[in-house]
Amino acid sequence: MKKLAFALSFGILAAACAQPPVQEIAAAQAAINAAVQAGAEDYAIDDLRSSRDTLTMANTEVEAKAYKDAKVSALDAKAKAEAALAAVEVGKAHAKAKAEAGITTVQTILVDVNTLLANPKLKGTSPLKDAAKEMGSQVDLMKTSYDAGKYKVVCDNISALQNLVTDLKARAEEASKKAPAKKKKK
């Protein structure tokens, strides 16, 4: 009788293990969706990609009827998605700091450019002044993106703008060197 009870218990347990891990896969997908909603595609893409890859592996294991492995993979995918979610805040804080520093640097360089170009003795600087004005508009767009919390957008674009403003400063400095010197009073 004990053997029959044991065999019956083992059979029920084996049958339970032979079911696809539907709940675990659904939980992993929900965790991935939460990470995406929080911004993981911008701020924790590697963690998110790893989670998605692991969930794909779980689904492949389900198709192969390797349910035990699929359950392990689904649980792993969920853990990785939760790690991606946690990494979003760290990534966002890093991007925010980088964006803020980039905007400040560009603004400082533009102040220098405008100071150089304010010299009334400079000739032919109209294109440089127009470029400085346009770059000022670009900085305003960056600040708008920053204020909207789009730090990745700012980070993706601020380096190029910084290079342009630095080049403009070099051109303004060159123009300034060509300006007539002040006459000394006797």
pLDDT, tens only, 62-82: 999 999 999 999 999 999 999
31, 82 contact by CB (below 8 A): yes
Q: Which of 105, 108, 165 is nearest to 131 (CA)?
A: 165
Q: Residue 124: what pLDDT?
A: 83
**Across 88-94, average pLDDT:** 94
How big, in percent rounded to 5, are the helix, strand and coil portions of the chain? 85, 0, 15
C-alpha Rg value of the chain to the nearest Å: 30
> Average pLDDT, whole number, for the chain?
89
132, 122 contact by CB (below 8 A): no
58, 77 contact by CB (below 8 A): yes
Q: Residue 4: what pLDDT?
A: 47
Residues 6+ apart with CB under 8 A from 35: 44, 47, 48, 51, 81, 82, 84, 85, 88
34, 85 contact by CB (below 8 A): yes
**pLDDT over 70 percentage in the chain:** 88
Domain ranges for the chain = 16-90, 91-178
First-to-last CA distance in the chain? 123
Give the angle subtended at the CA of 138 by the CAs of 103 and 141, to the nearest 5°: 80
Question: For residue 88, how many other CB atoms are within 10 A of its CB?
Answer: 22
pLDDT tens digits, residue range 26-40?
999 999 999 999 999
pLDDT tens digits, residue range 128-159?
999 999 999 999 999 999 999 999 999 999 99
Strands (E), the chain: none
The pTM assigned to this predicted structure is 0.71
